[in-house]
Chain A
Amino acid sequence: MVSLIQSLVKLHLERLAAEDVKLDDFAPRVMEKARAIQQKYSPFITLDENLGSTNRNAQKLPFSVKDNICTNGLRTTAGSRILENYIPPFDATCVRQVKSAGGFVIGKTAMDEFGFGTFSTNCAYGAPKNPIDIQRVCGGSSGGAACVTAAADFPHIAIAQSTGGSITAPAAFTGTVGLTPTYGRVSRWGLIDYANSMDKIGVIGRCTYDAAFGFSLIAGHDPLDATSLNAPKLDYTKVLEKDIRHLRIGVPSEYFNADGVDPQVKKLVWDKITSLERFGATYEEISLPSTKYATAAYYLIALSEASTNLAKFCGLRYGIQGETEGNYENYFSSIRERGFGEEAKRRIVLGTYARMSGYRDAYYIKALKVRAKIIGEFRKAFDRVGAIATPSMPIFAPRFDEVAGLTPVQQYAMDIMTTAPNLAGLPTVSVPAGESGGLPAGVQFIGDYENEGTLLQLAAACEV
């Protein structure tokens, strides 16, 4: 299926192949544009100011990298003050792969601290603004990644990351394409952990081609990550050429009828699903009854894991340093008090509580059981259908002041579309489903394990 959306990446690669493009000052020109975008929308925490001075020939395709993914020699803060001076001594596997394919990293993109947020407003270094309307949020936690992608007038692919919907949410809010791969499909080596059993590195692109191209570079087995899948490397841009005839799409009623789903979002998503009949796809309503427990289970598991992951940031080996007074416990507390933002502290406390004696069985262990049940329901559904379609987000991109008025629980409830597939480790893609009042809505397709190909074909069909 040929997309109607022009891919700057594809154009650039074709011109490179035809030797129509000179790379001599390509990187500096890209950096100039990136700085202009930074001025307007603040999507970056760190821009690589040294670009253009070294290894000129290899600098063929610009990438941005979410700031919780380690880049050798380039500051990596995971969006947190506590890591404000952290410069990793190694590249994440995905960064190494991008670089060896001729890509270069223009900068590190803004995010909710450690991934803790749905709107990219829990940011230690300033929130990125939505290029569609700067009064509105980009979505989170990969907000900076989606922001650059939407704003870039140069070929660019964003390496993003999702734990519970952090690629889908910003892709939907900015009108970009976000691919969240199957858990384990992309190595997590070099990713600063939020919730290791759910963290997935993925991509955000201006269009499906870009997402497919970027994903092809970073997918694959990695012996450095014990949870990495041993699946073959594929060129997913080739997969896009296949059509979706005879594909059965499941439409789960629980996702459309949940509380708080904007009727306009619902309409746009339904219209998009029905439009796919043109290509020979069919759809049927399905039921995923455990969905209502997914968000609670997600937060219990994710925060239990997060509270252990963040323990290392105490000012001893990792994290900012401070005056040593009192014993080590006093010192660790003073560093953590100063270095972590409010949401990080909230999540550490919640996660610690959920795994403590007396609560562990009722929360952490119970959530693991819910997770197993949700996985079972999806498996059963995929016996019948080839993909599942839902809204990406229940709402359009909200304004900053609207987000500020939400309680934490109201914010967490915004994740209802994304927590279940992320708990199950299933791949998803979010692709624009149309606009209302100038604001994009996203449709999310959930695929069976390792079936990113079908998702990308569906996304491509949505672009026609």
Chain B
Amino acid sequence: MSVMIGIEVHCQLNTASKLFCNSSSDHRGKMPNECTCPICLGFPGSKPVVNKRAIELGMMIALALKCKIAEKMFFSRKTYFYPDMSKNYQITQYEAPLAERGLFTLGENKIRIRRVHIEEDPARLIHVGGDITSAKYVLIDYNRSGIPLAEIVTEPDFTAPKEVRAFLEKMVNVLEHLGAYDSGKEATLRVDANISTDGGERVEVKNITGFENVEKALNYEIIRQSSMKRSGNVVVRETRHFDADTNTTKSLRKKEYEEDYGYIFDPDLPSVTISRAWLESVASSMPELPDQRIERFVRQYSIDEYTAMVIVYSDKRLADFFEECCARYNKPPTVSNWIVNYLLKSLNWRSERISQSKARPETFVELLQLIDEGKITDRFAKELIKEYVDTGISPRTLAQKEIVALSEKDLDEIIVKVLQANANAVEEYRNGKKESLQFLIGKVLSETRKQGNPKKIKDLIVKLMPR
């Protein structure tokens, strides 16, 4: 079966204020409707004024996606009646978007970008006592109303749901590197996906959040559409809603054709001219993109390309974390090794991203310092890291009680005990069998629960051995 998928990604842009007013676009910890003003509430007589920073972030995204950026762009009104829009029209872009015709490389595949435009986010509807089709009533939170969105539209170049997921993961990484999107801000990334199978009508699944859900929704659609065809039914052009609880899609309404929104140019907003000088200054202030960063990591930190890719692609914040650790602990290969092999494992086990984790560069490097100082063994550090990621307590503090417990005197006692218990091995060592010493060191370490510097233990064993 042939599958064609194209997506629209709506990404909340990381600006301090909303797209057309001064209300804060960061509503973490705020009451519903606290971050609002007459403009984002659409009061009669209020007028929008565009936030230049939102356009600049949009320009960076367009540059990163190798799009052609317009010399002049307009905002348009998309009119439809829906309770999430106080004005009953959304200010978006239609015939004169910010940028068009880009390309995004995804492994072997090249995904064509149709356009990138800027628009305002509608309010958030909270369905009380049910879902979108069964709720008793609906509450409206306008904190989200007017937050700038970049809409990235691809051509229908995906042939499988997993490609879409890979695209989204890589795209978010790019957006975060640009500073255009901040996942830590509870900013959301919503996806509308258009899917058609075997050249049939295209079905739009709207408003999916979470990459995993995008993949699930598309997989469900493929099965639904093919089983409809098998049973002799026709797939109709329509809009569907993804239900994350049941992992299914439900029909919402028959697809309105795009032109039915009756677009007009928004007469409150003059056209925005993107001069060469402006474009150049934005381009020169572009933060480093993931691929550039990987190259730099290999060059600057002498780590291998694969490790650099794992760090950079997994999460922009993880790459930041790595660099901050390197600034405090000057053995980058050791840092990268511990991040990729142990820290990531602990994070994954907790289903956490580094930005949500209690791990901090200044405390993480203590772990590596403790090893160097001979205070703990590699093996103990690998156990300690789990407790560290769980609690965020500094490794030095975590190791402290063990280190204190292992005062010279305590260690002496343990060694004497081990030597007494293993008289045979002592005898063998005396007779010239060097391996027996390793055996004794192992016994001591298992008594100390892997703490203590093996070299020091070895010296002590030799010293305390009965003559």
A residues apposed to B, CB below 8 Å = 69-70, 76, 78, 83, 86, 88-90, 92, 188-193, 195-197, 223-227, 304-305, 307-308, 311-312, 314, 316-318, 328-329, 332, 352, 355-358, 360, 364, 368
Contact = CB atoms under 8 A, between A and B. Distances in A.
B45 A308 contact: no
A226 B44 contact: no
B44 A83 contact: yes
A179 B50 CA distance: 30
9 contacts: A76-B45, A223-B49, A226-B47, A226-B50, A226-B269, A312-B42, A312-B88, A355-B262, A364-B264
B134 to A, nearest CB: 13
A226 B49 contact: yes
Contacts of B268: 193, 196, 225-227
A213 B337 CA distance: 77
A329 B77 CA distance: 20
Contacts of B269: 226-227
A78 B45 CA distance: 10
A25 B23 CA distance: 42
Contact of A311 (B89, B259, B266): B89
Given A196-B267, A227-B270, A311 B88 contact: yes
Interface of B: 38, 41-50, 77, 79, 81-83, 86-89, 257, 259-260, 262-270
Nearest to A353: B262
Given A89-B38, A226-B270, A78 B44 contact: yes
User: Considering residues B81, B82, B266, which has the most beta carbons from chain A within 10 angstroms of its beta carbon?
Assistant: B81
Given A304-B264, A312-B42, A314-B81, A226 B257 contact: no
Contact of A189 (B42, B47, B260): B47
* Nearest 3 CB-CB pairings of A with B: A357-B259, A311-B88, A197-B267
Nearest to A357: B259
Nearest to A332: B81
Nearest to A69: B45
A88 B44 contact: yes
A305 B88 CA distance: 13
User: Considering residues A190, A311, A358, which has the most beta carbons from chain B within 10 angstroms of its beta carbon?
Assistant: A311
Contacts of A311: 79, 81, 87-89
B120 to A, nearest CB: 14
Contact of A305 (B44, B50, B264): B264
B44 A314 contact: no
A70 B87 contact: no
A225 B259 CA distance: 29
A224 B264 contact: no
A192 B44 CA distance: 5
Contact of A225 (B44, B47, B50): B47
Nearest to B266: A196
A171 B81 CA distance: 38
A86 B262 contact: no
A442 B266 CA distance: 34
Given A226-B269, A356-B262, A357-B260, A317 B86 contact: yes
A190 B45 contact: yes
Contact of B81 (A90, A192, A304, A328): A328
A63 to B, nearest CB: 17
A209 to B, nearest CB: 29
User: Considering residues A69, A78, A189, A358, which has the most beta carbons from chain B within 10 angstroms of its beta carbon?
Assistant: A189
B87 A312 contact: yes
B47 A355 contact: no
B87 to A, nearest CB: 5
B45 A92 contact: yes
A10 to B, nearest CB: 31
Contacts of B267: 195-197, 227, 305
A215 B418 CA distance: 100
Given A226-B268, A357-B257, A88 B89 contact: no
Given A76-B44, A193-B268, A352-B262, 15 more contacts: A78-B44, A88-B43, A90-B43, A190-B45, A191-B45, A226-B270, A227-B267, A308-B262, A311-B79, A312-B86, A312-B88, A317-B86, A328-B82, A328-B83, A355-B262
User: Considering residues A92, A308, A360, which has the most beta carbons from chain B within 10 angstroms of its beta carbon?
Assistant: A308
Contacts of A360: 259, 262-263
B393 to A, nearest CB: 50
B257 A88 contact: no
A317 B38 contact: no
Given A305-B264, A311-B79, A226 B48 contact: yes
User: Considering residues B38, B41, B46, B266, which has the most beta carbons from chain A within 10 angstroms of its beta carbon?
Assistant: B46
Given A224-B49, A226-B49, A328-B81, A355 B263 contact: yes
A357 B257 CA distance: 9
A355 B270 contact: no
Contact of B44 (A195, A312, A316, A332): A312
A311 B89 CA distance: 7
A195 B41 CA distance: 20
Contacts of B49: 223-226
